[in-house]
Structure 1
Amino acid sequence: MTSQMTPGVVAGRLAKDVIDDNFADLHAPLDGHEAMVAADRCYFCHDAPCITACPTDIDIPLFIRQIASGTPEAAAKTILSQNILGGMCARVCPTETLCEQACVREAAEGKPVKIGELQRFATDTLMDANVHPFERAASTGKKVAVVGAGPAGLSCAHRLASKGHDVVIFDPRPKAGGLNEYGIATYKSVDNFAAREVDWLLQIGGITVENGKSLGEGMTLSDLTSEFDAVFLGIGLGGVNALRCEGEDKDGVLDAVDFIADLRQASEFGSVAIGRDVVVIGGGMTAVDAAVQAKLLGALNVSLVYRRGKDRMNASEFEQDLAASKGVRIITNASPRAVIGNGSVREIEFEYTDDDLAPTGETFRLAADQVFKAIGQTLDGDDLPEVDRGKITVTGAGRTSMSGVWAGGDCASGGEDLTVTAVAEGRDAAEDIHAALSA
């Protein structure tokens, strides 16, 4: 949690109206006319490369054609049949490196079709009408446990429930949603959208969510495999990597994921304390989200420091440009050496590195009263299926080394750690579970 006891770290650096404006929707939604104009730019390619670039294989030309024909609800069903969390993915997917990068218009003109914004227009239209376009099949009498209510778990649960299985989702947090609820920059998902999307998803029926429950706290994997016909693990990555440098235990050195979660759950954004001089260590989306939001809360100086070159950052070029546009200073090829201060952080020392991460001997210091670690997360849990390189080993559609246990999302080996990839893995595991239960 963000400490308000660290000197220099205070709440309310900016007036409420300024903060509210800062945290407004990053991309204003398209209206009906704008959606029709955007849809009209699509070539409706027969061998559409955008479909191949989408981890959930959405038929993008089809849904855009449906928007163009004035049937956004049909477009939404096309999207949601492949990606049940299509509304959130439209907001947070790095479309600029996925479907839109593959768009023929991008190759020809440098200006792709607005696929992400069109997807949001369609799914929002359907959700605003409070319509759930899928019906639950007749009950199979089979029960499946899903551990983790993040994108992978929710996707898996919905697909299983639609096939008639009874699903119980277990999650340690007070709310379902996983990173969609707790780990996404607030300006990317406004108006409590993550919770509303979960409520909409649960309309399929057959899904029970039990919060405050996790593996290892009165519930074991052995218990679940005994009680349920199948188990899906979508537990994410609960641990945070250490800086492994002197002084990182000082006050004011915090986990970026906790800072983002505090903001996501705050009733007033200005109530979250922020420093004057903030340093974020990392090069991924979490690092950018933390750095940008620190600036939006009123931090005077925000530096994002990454150990490799700019071209190696996991954050997309769009995210890097967004950070720079908000006044975040990006420093690359530098690794933390020591956190300096008497009890609380006052400075942090870095050493420049070469392209192979070898130290150069040249150091520098940044003033800091708050340091956010965003250097990756780790698998947290005991008695799990076989683990390799910090993730649960899976084959095929999420099968683990334990019979009757599947896994997907960030906790499992395989694809990139993206919301859309987690949705695809949860969906595909559900299909495999259904096949196994129907054999």
Structure 2
Amino acid sequence: MLLTIFFAFLGACTVTEQNARRRLWLLIAAPIPIGIITLMSMISELIPSSALHIESASIFLGLDWSLKPQLAPLLLMTAALWSFAGIFAARDFSPAAKTKAKPHAARFLRCWLLTLTGNLGLLVANDIASFYLFFALMTFAAYGLVIHDETPSALKAGKVYIIMAVIGEAFLLAGLISAAASVGSEHTPLLQELPQGIVSSDHGLSIATALFIGFGVKAGLAGVHWWLPLAHPVAPTPASAVLSGAMIKAGLVGWLLTLPIGNLSEPQANIAPLASAAILLGLIGAWGAGVVGVFSGKAKTVLAYSSISQMGMLTLMLGVALRYPDSAALVLAAMVIFASHHGVNKGLLFLGVAWRKAASGVGLTVVAVVLTVAALNLIGVPWSSGAYAKDLFKAVLADLPVGILYAAFSYGALATTALMLRYAYLLWQKR
């Protein structure tokens, strides 16, 4: 397991300016080992649990990694999306490409592999130090992907991205340290111990709010989402796919691991305002991003606002889980399924922007079919993965006294539909 996580990092260490184009296979192969292990752990008992858990008291403040069953679908989706996007990235930088290969292959390859290492590592880390290290590695290495083309718009987007990243890291570090201190144990607490410490602390609301904002920057939370619609259009298309499909879910994972969700031994009344704020910001993100996105003039910008809208729905459900602890287990399971479904389909839609430009003849028809299916999945038409994911949420909301929230969530598909129609128009009609 240790080698599967650090395979991408070790690959990045071997990349030089001279051999970069001979190392392009790493873009495709680096996520495959952890993807295979995750898939095997989900479908069989071939791998003993001891092989999926790493623990060492002498590393950091106590290293603890494991393959979490509840996050396994997200980890599998992340590995698959990075590998599939790597096919497109390798083609862009290959000397054998039909079009002129892009420059700065070594820099792109290093940033890609380091970002991948962080994205995979945070999904298996249980100790605070490792989790923060992987999260920060993913965040700052992705800056190189955002500014890769070095156009004025890319450099501007990179500036906004890095400013928001530093602000988010400041909130995140403050929240993690304060949450660890609130646990009050003699040993260094693990991530799963933080929720109990937060609800038992007199400053629980402040700590939870810091974590909510810190992870919210990465998750596209309304109000701290500014980097998303700027970074996605200017980054290389494969990078945009993993930024929106996989990396944005890191913020969601942070929320699920650290916020006091579910039935705990202490009352959760001290974080009730945070639950209300999450519901309100979720609604603003889900509907506001839809309104703004339909006026965008670039297909990738429309998809960026669509990601903000979809993450708004997840933020709303996070607020529901915080407010109604008895429903938290079902909500969390539904959130993982929804996030995995969104990652796959949004990644395909981003890659479709480049695929559309290169395809012709029969290939163009294949592109149209694949992207239509992905768009319908996001909208949530009957018998689609989107319908299944959203029905899981509706089943929970139907049993709770949430008032108009049920209708607001149900009709969120209208915003997604408008964005997908705008995306289709820009991709297939506008030159």
Same fold per TM (> 0.5)? Answer: no
Superposition TM-score, scaled by structure 2 size: 0.28
**Structure ranking higher in helix proportion:** 2
